[in-house]
Amino acid sequence: MKQKKRVTIYDIAERLNLTASSVSRALNNSSHVNENTKQLILKTAAEMNYKQNIMASNLRKGRSQTIGIVVPRINQNFFANVIAGIEEVTYQKGYNLVICQSNELHEKEVKCISALINQHVDCIIVSVAADDGADHSHLQNVIDHNIQLIQFDRVVDELDTFKVVNDNELAAMEAVSHMIGQGYRRIALLEGPQNLGIFQRRNAGYVKALWENKIDLDHDLIIPNSWDREESADRIRALLSSSNPPDAVFASRDDFSALRVLEVANDMGIKVPEQLGICGYSNESFTSITSPSISTVDQHSAEIGKTIAELYFNSISKKDTAEQPKVVSIKPQLIIRPSTAGPANTAT
């Protein structure tokens, strides 16, 4: 079937024997058009099913009223809630969102950023991929195109942009300190990729909690995580079947890692929390319905999203933003559930 040609202002102008500029002014409710002529143009436009090209109109005004977002994975609760928080604010402002996911791949992130620049978005919001290369020229390119760049969660510290983050070191320290307080002593760390600052800071929180509780650091208990499900399960199984296994695991990367620990423990006949405590990170929805439910860290993701959007709109408003801090830190919250209730030998 032959696609219908989009009706333009030139088609309306031809039908009414008017200039295209007169039609354009009428459609934009200009006071420089006779009221009768304006009504005739609006009536004809409706009859011809004319749809205004909002993007082109906004670009002529110097703003697209579109914001681009690049996240590692859309299907993770944390990123989905951040996007929802952003959308709650942008919708009220009449802005549209273009959402891209990098699938944790640096190369795909670069392509997403390039596509958003080519779409003339007003702002790009990004949380960098785990496969983060040393080259961040694609993000500098955003700045060079005079497009506002806001980073969140996983950020490139060297870039002078607005950043919205959690206090990852504090959150990790509180999670590990909680497990120590419950009676666990050999707490393993299932760590995230150490090329990213957020996971370095979570590691630092883990170490600090051990130090403050006078527990020696055992490097054999720090296990690099894997994005591959089977490989991750194999590493967890090897850890739990070692000659001196941990009595708890802090899955600092995410709750999916914590769920994998629970699955492996169940498969091995290890009782949670009596023989193994488990704590995750991100407060994914499934953590409240597993058996036992999993302790985790709530990053207040929707609040992060709202903060990001408000930062952008404050930056383009007439308000004085000189006192607006470049880095906004939102304190996460430890959610305590039965998976860290304490080992059997400490029960009263």
The C-alpha atoms of residue 175 and residue 183 are separated, in whole angstroms, by: 13
> Rounded to the nearest 10 degrees, how much is the dihedral formed by the CA atoms of 298, 303, 308, 310?
-170
Q: How many CB atoms lie within 10 A of CB 278?
A: 30
171 in helix, strand or coil?
helix
Contact between 192 and 202 under an 8 Å Cβ cutoff? The reply is yes
Ramachandran region, residue 269 (left: φ > 0; alpha: ψ -120 to 50; beta: rest): left
The C-alpha atoms of residue 168 and residue 184 are separated, in whole angstroms, by: 21
Going by their DSSP bridges, the two strands 296-298 and 333-335 should be labelled as: antiparallel
Q: What is the pLDDT along the chain (348 residues), one digit of tens a residue?
A: 445 677 788 888 888 888 888 888 888 777 778 888 888 888 888 888 877 665 555 555 556 789 999 999 999 999 999 999 999 999 999 999 999 999 999 999 999 999 999 989 999 999 999 886 678 999 999 999 999 999 999 999 999 999 999 999 999 999 999 999 999 999 999 999 998 999 999 999 999 999 999 999 999 999 998 888 899 999 999 999 999 999 999 999 999 999 999 999 999 999 999 999 999 999 999 999 999 999 999 999 999 999 999 999 998 886 555 567 799 999 999 999 999 999 975 544
What pTM value is reported for the model? 0.81
The C-alpha atoms of residue 246 and residue 185 are separated, in whole angstroms, by: 8
User: Which class would CATH give 168-299+334-341?
Assistant: alpha beta
Tokens 């978005």 appear where?
Answer: 121
The C-alpha atoms of residue 338 and residue 326 are separated, in whole angstroms, by: 38
The C-alpha atoms of residue 212 and residue 7 are separated, in whole angstroms, by: 70
Helix axes 106-118, 137-144, angle to 10 degrees: 10
Tokens 């994914």 appear where?
Answer: 284
What pLDDT score was predicted for residue 6?
A: 77
Tokens of residue 271, six digits = 């009782």
Contact between 123 and 107 under an 8 Å Cβ cutoff? The reply is no
Q: How many CB atoms lie within 10 A of CB 187?
A: 23
In one-letter notation, the amino acid at residue 200 is: Q
Contact between 116 and 98 under an 8 Å Cβ cutoff? The reply is yes
Kindly list the distances between the CA atom of residue 60 and the CA atoms of 19, 301, 315, in Å, as whole numbers in the listed order: 19, 35, 21
Tell me how far the alpha carbon of residue 180 is from its chain's centroid.
30
- HSE at residue 163, side-chain half, CA atoms within 13 A, is 18
- In the CATH hierarchy, which fold is given to the domain comprising 66-164+300-330? Rossmann fold (3.40.50)
What pLDDT score was predicted for residue 1?
A: 47
Which candidate, 14, 13, 15, 6, places its Cα nearest to that of 50? 6
The C-alpha atoms of residue 295 and residue 164 are separated, in whole angstroms, by: 24
Which candidate, 343, 7, 321, places its Cα nearest to that of 181? 343
Q: How many CB atoms lie within 10 A of CB 74?
A: 13
CATH 3.40.50.2300 domain position(s) in the chain: 66-164+300-330, 168-299+334-341
